[in-house]
Each structure stands twice: as structure tokens, then as C-alpha cells.
Amino acid sequence: MIKKVSMITPEGMRGRYALVEFLTWLPTGLMIAPMVLLMSVRGLDVAQIGLVTAAYSITVVALELPTGGLADVIGRRTVLAASAVFSVAGLTMTALAGSAWMFLIASLLKGVARALSSGPAQAWYVDRLHALEGPAADLKPGLAAGGAAGSVALAIGTLTGGVLPLLVSGESLAVPVWAGGGAALILLFTVLLVMREPARQVRPRLADVLRDVPVTIGGGFRLAVRDRGLGRLLLVAVAAGVMLNSIELLTPGRLAALTGRPETAGTIYAIVAAAGFAANAVGSAIAPAVARAVGGSMRAVMLATVFTAASVGALAASVALDGVAGMVAAGAAYVVLFTGLAVSSLFRNELIHQRIVSTQRATVMSVDSLQLQFGGTVSSLVLVPLSAQVGAGGVWAVTAVIALSATLLYVRLPAARAEVPVPVREPQ
């Protein structure tokens, strides 16, 4: 019998992963600009908008770990395809919604979609690359391509979502949402087409899935506790969550104070946010070169973390400036910050993947995402309210110290254990 040779190359796998990441984040980008305005023009007050937004966040947090465990049990492709289905349903209902309860249901559907999409694509890519090149495969080029593709999608989506309502008449604010639904539908077909996985020898029954998911989640937590190095790497996500939430919640108010008009501030913030996503893409793209220049991933992640913390400090210092100078300084700090964050995030993900086996990969990535959400919650409850007393600059200064302290978690990081490769049959 002639052995069938796989035609899939590492470069081809990298391209597939980048395409999936782009389509995963494009619907989110298209929603950013019109979402709050759409709810407002359809009759929701501020309290109702807050409830709808909170429902999304609570759904994501509640399902983050179960969906990660599900991806490890039944497969990454199936879970990401289900995410696309929920995204199409949630965006369609959002576009059609005319009441608070309809927006609430749509928010729950989108929360399920987000939780399902957290981790499977990256876990799939790492598993496939390991199957092609072994556990020592260089993850940096692929993780860089995926990170850059996701950031480009967010940048393009944000700008497109802001421009589309200006180009059409009637219910113009719903147009970007319909576009997001279309992008999610394309994601569904793309996932089914390009995300090939090894054939499972035994197709799991529902009872087996319900039993194995909690076991997988528990195994992921035990691994994080037992492996002190992995625990440290996951703790870095808490600091990142604190930083991102503080910046995203306080920057619009800071720009409003500089411009004197909320409408103008909204436009400027959309531009700044898109520039931040673009900077994130640049950071992801240059990360492998940074590692080569400084002599390895560990040095690169520490330098990038210090660089990011310094950028937050510069953002804090920018509050001393007024008018155009203040806006330019804040925008520049924002762009530099997200460039450094992309570099540090890529290398941290690489270090995490070096410590986990395939059967726990999506679960651990969900734990990581949960840590990020936890950091954002801490920021919302503690630091953001503090801005009423010390101002945005004071909160950002504290945030810079927290971000800088995350560098200590990399110092003398325990060595990773070697992953035992699991034999798989490579799909065509």
C-alpha cells in the first residue's frame, strides 16, 4: 500500500490559522462603533444598555472554562464552528432587536459565541504544528501571524463600522451589524473547510462529554497549581486585564475633557482605537525579529513588558497637557503601548504552550482568558472608581506600576517540562 503524504506545510497551516483569526475578530470590530448608538436609537436607556453589556460579560465568564474543556474533549473545529453559529444568531437578533429583552437575548448569544471562540483556534494551530514538526516546533511565526491578523481585523472592522452608517440611509446603524453577521457566516464555512483535525478513534457520547469536561477543567487547574512557572505566566494575565480595562474605560472621558464635546471625542476615540489595533498587528508581526535581536523569547517578553509599562506611564504623564498636544500625546502613548503589549503577549503565549499537553491546551487558554477578565473586573471595581478622586492620570500611574511589577513574574521562571508527543494521523 502506498502511504499518502500530507500536502499541508507549516506555512500553509500558518496561513489557515491567520485566516481563521481574522474572520473570528472581524464581526467584533464591525460592532464596536455602532453598538451603543444602535441600542440608544431603539429606545434603551443607559441602565438598560448597562444591563445588556453586563449580560454579555457574565455569560463569557460563566462559560469560559466549560467551553475550553469542551474543545479539548470534542475537538477545536466543532467548538469554533458552533461559536460562528451562535455569532450569526446573536448578530442577526441584534440587527432586528427593537426592545431591551431582544437586545438582552442577543447579548447572551454573543457571549456564548465569544466563550466558545476563546482558545480553540490557537490550540488547533499549536497541535497541528506539533504534529508536523514535533514538540520543539517554533511557534513564534504562526502566533505572530494569527495575532496580527486578529488585530488587523479589529482595526478594519472598527473603521468600517464607523463609516458604513454614513454611506447608507434608513436604519444605517444596523448595517455594520448585518455585515458582522455575514462575516460570521463566512467564518463558519471557513472553519469547516480549513480546520482539519485527526480522526478520533472513538466518537464521544453525550454522557462521556458531560463527564469528561469537568475532569478536563480540573486537570487544567491542577496543572496551573502544580507547575509554578505556568501559574506565574497565567498571573501575568491579571495585570494585563487591569491595564487594558483602566485604559479602555478612562480614555474616552479623557478625550472628551480635551475636546469639550462627547461627539468629537467619540470620533477621535474610534480613530485612536483603530490605530491601537493596527499597532497591535505591527507588534505581532515584528515579535519574532525582536526575539532574534535580543537573544531569545524570555529576554524579549521581559523587555516588552517594561516597554508597555513605560507607555502606560507616558499616558499618565500626558494628562498634564491640554488641547491638541494632550490628544497627540495620549494617542502616541496608546499606539506604543499596544505595540509593546502585542510583543509581550506573543512570547507569553509561546511560554505557556511549551508547558501544556494537547489534551489540556484549550482549557488552559480559557483559564488564561478568565484571568484577564478577572483583572478587568478588579480594575472596574477598584481603580476606575478611584479616578473620581485622583483623576485618570493617577489611576494610569498606579496601573503602570502594576504592569511593571508583572515583569518580576518572569524572573528565574522554572524550566518547562518536555511535552510528550501524542501520535496522530495527519488529515489531508
Domain that holds residue 18: 9-197
- Residues 126 and 266 occupy one common structural domain: no
pLDDT number for residue 183: 96
Start-to-end Cα distance in the chain: 17
pLDDT number for residue 190: 96
- Residues 277 and 340 occupy one common structural domain: yes
Kindly provide the residue ranges of all beta strands, DSSP E only, lying in 215-350, ordered along the sequence.
Answer: none
pLDDT number for residue 17: 93
Cell 432586528 belongs to residue = 96
**Of 310, 336, 317, whose CA–CA distance to 401 is shortest?**
310
pLDDT number for residue 403: 94
pLDDT number for residue 4: 43
- Contact status, residue 252 vs residue 266, Cβ threshold 8 Å: yes
Q: Is 139 helix (H, G, I), strand (E, B) or coil?
A: coil
What's the CA gap between 22 and 85, in Å, rounded? 17
Distances (CA, A) of 116 to 78, 86, 119, 222, 386: 10, 9, 8, 22, 34
pLDDT number for residue 416: 64
Q: Is 82 helix (H, G, I), strand (E, B) or coil?
A: helix
pLDDT number for residue 208: 53
Domain count, the chain: 2
- Residues 22 and 168 occupy one common structural domain: yes
Q: Is residue 264 part of a domain?
A: yes
- The H or E element spanning position 22 is helix 10-32
- Residues 231 and 100 occupy one common structural domain: no
Where the chain has pLDDT below 50, the residues are: 1-6, 418-428
Phi, psi of 97 (to 5 degrees): -65, 140
What's the CA gap between 339 and 289, in Å, rounded? 14
- Residues 236 and 193 occupy one common structural domain: no
Q: Is residue 424 part of a domain?
A: no
What CATH number does residue 324 fall under?
Answer: 1.20.1250.20
- Residues 139 and 270 occupy one common structural domain: no
Q: Count Cβ neighbours within 10 Å for each residue of 224-251 and write b for 16 or more, e otherwise.
A: beebebbebbbebbbbbbbbbbbbebbb
**Of 356, 332, 340, 362, whose CA–CA distance to 406 is shortest?**
340
pLDDT number for residue 207: 53
Angle between helices 228-259 and 384-405 (to 10 degrees): 140
The one-letter amino acid at 198: P
> What secondary structure, in 3-state letters, does 326-366 show?
HHHHHHHHHHHHHHHHHHHHHHHHHHHHCCCCHHHHHHHHH
- Residues 31 and 134 occupy one common structural domain: yes
- Residues 258 and 348 occupy one common structural domain: yes
pLDDT number for residue 210: 52
- Residues 281 and 150 occupy one common structural domain: no
DSSP label of 409 = G
Positive or negative torsion for Cα 108, 114, 116, 118 = negative
Q: At 195, list the grid cell.
A: 480546520
| pTM listed for this prediction | 0.73
Q: Count Cβ neighbours within 10 Å for each residue of 329-347 and write b for 16 or more, e otherwise.
A: bbbbbbbbbbbbbbbbbbb
**Of 85, 284, 77, whose CA–CA distance to 195 is shortest?**
77
* Residue that terminates a domain, selected from 197, 214, 244: 197
What's the CA gap between 113 and 163, in Å, rounded? 25
